[in-house]
Amino acid sequence: MDFDLAQLRALSATVAEGSLEAAARRLHVTPSAVSQRIKALESAVGAVLLQRTKPVRVTERGQAVLRLARQVDVLAADAQRELGDEAGDGRPVNIPIAVNADSLATWILPALATLPSAPTFDIHLDDQEHTTALLRSGAAMAAITAVAQPIQGCTSTLLGTMRYRPRCSARFTESWFAGGATRDALDRAPVVVFDRKDDLQDAYLRRAGLPQPAPPRHFVPSSADFVRAVELGLGWGNVPDLQDTPELVAFDPDAVFDVPLYWQQWQLQSATLDEVADAVRRAAAQHLR
């Protein structure tokens, strides 16, 4: 079947902006026009592509069409750059990227800021073990992930490893680990966890001989605040070397956790996407192991 460019752009803009009204402002048309274009696209495909929630949600059938729409966006922007801004409206292309929290808090933003003719970025935050799901759904064009195997339609490049070490405050050591980080102490000592997908702390506990670790835990879903919570003595946690501070104590100096990070992106011959990948690889070479 033949796809209509205006309809694809309406779909892409609606998903990116979250609503028909916001997409209409981005496209400089009325919300009714956006709705009509998406309905026409759904009619042509023969399936519902969007759930009209707030924000809108892409259906399983809509994911394939969304990937196409976003590929068209990027390739059209590349062509406009080659032809000059007079060929388009001069607006930068939007690149959705899935990133893990610790990379976002440390090295990825400076990498993206080095791009000479930067696109805009729609950054999706998720655990490095789960960011590839956003590639599959079409929500992201590229992702920093711990998954080495490229998903269908993507390439995978090793960026390096992010090293983590168990850390706590000096006060916490005195309170909980005065006799060392024994199995009994670790079973009782509070732990700081990013969210319920974060397995790094439990991995350390399993390594220490606690097969079903269940110590008291604080959930702190912010990378910087996670480190701050450990500094303040709320609990212990595995802290990246890139975020280590003088206030943190190594209660188990020999323990390290290396998490390999990969850059997966759509297999798309795009100068813009390649520039983003090059900037990410250069920064990773400087900051990762």
CATH number for the domain harbouring residue 169: 3.40.190.10
Q: Which domain, by its residues, includes 216? A: 162-259
**Strand locations in the chain (E):** 50-51, 57-58, 94-99, 120-125, 142-145, 154-169, 191-193, 217-219, 237-240, 248-249, 257-266
95, part of any domain: no
Q: In this structure, which amino acid lies at residue 174?
A: E
pLDDT digits (tens, 9 = 90+) for 63-114: 889 989 988 888 888 887 777 754 455 677 889 999 999 999 999 999 999 9
In-domain check, residue 200:
yes
* Percentage of residues of the chain with pLDDT beyond 90: 73
Q: Is residue 140 part of a domain?
A: no
Question: Token digits for 116?
Answer: 């000479």
Condensed to tens digits (0 to 9), the pLDDT of residues 162-210 reads: 999 999 999 999 999 999 999 999 999 999 999 999 999 999 999 999 9
Measured between alpha carbons, how far is 53 from 278 in angstroms, rounded to an integer? 36
Last-in-domain residue among 50, 67, 84: 67
Count of domains forming the chain: 2
CA nearest neighbour of 238 among 272, 202, 213: 202
Distance CA 189, CA 171 (A): 13
CA-nearest of 69, 48, 71 to 60 is 48
Above pLDDT 70, what percent of the chain?
97
pLDDT of residue 111: 95
In single-letter form, the type of residue at position 63 comes to Q
Region for 124 from its dihedrals, namely left if φ exceeds 0, alpha if ψ lies in -120 to 50, beta otherwise: beta
Q: Is 92 helix (H, G, I), strand (E, B) or coil?
A: coil
Residue 286 falls within a domain, yes or no?
no
Note whether residue 205 is domain-resident: yes
For 202-256, write each residue's pLDDT tens digit. 999 999 999 888 899 999 999 999 999 999 999 999 999 999 999 999 999 999 9
Cross-strand bridge partners of residue 218: 192
Q: Which of 67, 91, 117 lies at the terminal end of a domain, its last residue? A: 67
CATH code, domain carrying 30: 1.10.10.10
> Is residue 250 a part of any domain in this protein?
yes
Q: Does any domain span residue 87? A: no
Residue 231: inside a domain: yes
